[in-house]
């Protein structure tokens, strides 16, 4: 397990709560990437410095931690230019990975299907292309450790033309898979399946909820982006007919644009679903921000008009009745439950079936 020094630069006007939650989320990303956090630095700045992003005085303290704690990687909670990453590596004597690089590394770990691997490779190449500026820092990383997983050195030669050719090839392969997915969706429609898609911030409890709804036995882990490849499970024999539930990749604040673009084919499953289940972890202090992030991504995908249920998860962890009442005021039609214990899940399942019963009547009438 690699020893990690985490650096969280942020604007000086960020509130103490926002700083704490930002650091916590980055620490969770480090854990999800298999790193061991040995030190962290909260770094307020007025504006990024061109050479090192943060002041050299603060870099000296980071370098001391690298040396004293024998850390081998520094992870920054922001995106860095290739020049900044190279300068920091030379100054601190440890590999440097920025926020997008870390997220891509986690995705590379999690991708298991051919489609998932293609999507991650495409996102990685888009990320690496502008960083191949004739210096060997990025290239020399390939081989092992956080920030080094990827398509392989033979596909990442400094020759930009070859990388662009590879990107074009990946897009063609993904377009074929996109067409295949579209045909599968048409097949579901012909067979009168209804489709409900679970969406939400990463680690909101979507996979646990799908297990409760369908008895699917989907893999669940308390880590960010535990689910990457979409999983679909069938709930058969209901009074509304057969219902397919699809579990999707979790969203994240400032999710890299390249990832969203690369996963467009997968995310189209959300747009074509009959019902969106927006799963929200209301035990998280800033759940309102998680709600905003998810709704923003759904809007970008063109899903703002899709039917949806608000699923308010982990309500068993709420510290007070007063807080529960405030949440109810904000989401008066929300479904309160605990996916882990199963409390409230039967009520949600009944509501989903009733929703599709009404939809079936309208469909049959047409």
Nearest to 10 by CA among 58, 40, 49, 42: 42
Q: How far is CA 163 from the centre of its chain?
A: 25
According to CATH, the topology of domain 192-365 is Rossmann fold (3.40.50)
Are the CB atoms for 178 and 190 separated by under 8 Å? no
Residue 98 sits at the vertex; the CA angle it makes with 288 and 105, to the nearest 5 degrees, is: 85
DSSP three-state, residue 299: helix
What is the C-alpha R_g of the chain? 22
DSSP three-state, residue 46: coil
Distance CA 178, CA 200 (A): 22
Distance CA 150, CA 145 (A): 11
Distance CA 84, CA 77 (A): 14
CATH (one of 3.40.50.11060, 3.40.50.11890, 3.40.1390.10, 3.40.228.10) for 2-102: 3.40.50.11060
> Residue 161: what pLDDT?
79
Distance CA 204, CA 314 (A): 8
Instruction: Tell me if domain 2-102 and domain 192-365 are identical in fold.
Output: yes
DSSP 8-class letter at 233: E
DSSP three-state, residue 281: strand
Nearest to 348 by CA among 316, 309, 294: 309
pTM: 0.80
Distance CA 15, CA 38 (A): 24
* Mean pLDDT, the chain cut into blocks of 10 residues (366 residues total): 94 88 90 93 93 93 96 94 92 94 87 82 86 50 56 54 87 83 69 87 89 75 55 87 86 73 73 93 92 90 91 95 94 96 96 93 65
Distance CA 97, CA 73 (A): 7
Tell me the domain boundaries of the chain. 2-102, 107-170, 192-365
Q: Quick one: angle between helices 264-271 and 114-128, nearest 10?
A: 120
> Residue 61: what pLDDT?
96
Are the CB atoms for 213 and 244 separated by under 8 Å? no
Distance CA 142, CA 107 (A): 16
Distance CA 307, CA 309 (A): 7
């Amino acid at each position: 397990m690699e020893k990690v020094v985490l650096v969280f630069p942020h604007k000086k006007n960020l509130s103490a709560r926002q700083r704490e939650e930002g650091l916590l989320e980055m620490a969770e990303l480090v854990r999800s990437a298999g790193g061991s956090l040995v030190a962290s630095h909260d770094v307020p700045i007025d504006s990024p410095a061109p050479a090192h992003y943060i002041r050299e005085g603060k870099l000296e303290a980071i370098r001391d931690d690298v040396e004293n704690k024998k850390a081998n990687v520094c992870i920054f909670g922001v995106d860095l230019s290739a020049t900044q990453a190279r300068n920091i590596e030379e100054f601190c004597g440890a590999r440097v990975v920025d926020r997008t690089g870390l997220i891509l590394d986690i995705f590379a770990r999690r991708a298991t299907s051919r489609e998932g691997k293609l999507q991650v490779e495409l996102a990685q190449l888009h990320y690496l292309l502008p960083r191949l500026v004739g210096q060997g820092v990025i290239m020399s990383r390939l081989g092992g450790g956080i920030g080094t997983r990827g398509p392989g050195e033979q596909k990442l030669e400094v020759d930009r033309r070859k990388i662009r050719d590879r990107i074009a090839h990946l897009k063609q392969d993904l377009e074929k898979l996109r067409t295949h997915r579209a045909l599968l969706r048409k097949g579901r429609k012909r067979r009168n399946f209804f489709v409900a898609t679970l969406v939400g911030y990463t680690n909101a409890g979507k996979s646990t909820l799908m297990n409760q709804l369908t008895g699917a036995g989907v893999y669940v882990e308390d880590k960010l982006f535990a689910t990457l490849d979409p999983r679909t499970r069938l709930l058969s024999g209901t009074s509304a007919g057969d219902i397919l539930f699809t579990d999707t990749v979790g969203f994240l604040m400032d999710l890299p644009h390249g990832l969203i673009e690369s996963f467009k084919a997968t995310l189209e499953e959300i747009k074509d679903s009959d019902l969106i289940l927006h799963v929200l972890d209301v035990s998280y202090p800033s759940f309102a921000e998680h709600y905003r992030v998810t709704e923003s991504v759904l809007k970008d995908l063109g899903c703002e008009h899709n039917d949806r249920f608000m699923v308010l998860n982990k309500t068993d962890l709420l510290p007070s009745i007063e807080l529960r009442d405030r949440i109810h005021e904000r989401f008066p039609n929300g479904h309160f439950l605990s996916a882990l214990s199963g409390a409230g899940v039967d009520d949600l399942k009944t509501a989903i079936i009733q929703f599709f019963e009404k939809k079936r009547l309208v469909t049959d009438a047409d």
